[in-house]
Amino acid sequence: MKFKALALALLAAIPGFISAATADCSEDVLFKFFPKGFVLEVLEAHNVPQDKADNIAETLYQADQEVFQLITSKANAMDPNPLEEVSAEKERAKLFRDSLTQVFTAAMEDNGVDDPKEIQAMLDEVQQMRMERFVQCQKEGRLPQKKNN
Please report, in tens digits, the pLDDT of each residue of the chain (149 residues total): 555 555 555 555 443 333 344 679 998 888 999 999 999 999 999 999 999 999 999 999 999 889 999 999 999 999 999 999 989 999 999 999 999 999 999 999 999 999 999 999 999 999 999 999 999 999 998 888 766 54
Domain ranges, ordered by start, for the chain: 3-15+23-139
**Contact of 133 with 18, CB cutoff 8 Å:** no
In this prediction, residue 20 carries a pLDDT of 41
**Rounded Cα gap, residues 93 and 87, in angstroms:** 12
pLDDT of residue 45: 97
pLDDT tens-digit series, residues 80-115: 999 999 899 999 999 999 999 999 999 999 999 999
DSSP class of residue 80 equals S
Distance CA 45, CA 62 (A): 22
Taking the CB of residue 58, how many other CB atoms lie within 10 A of it? 15
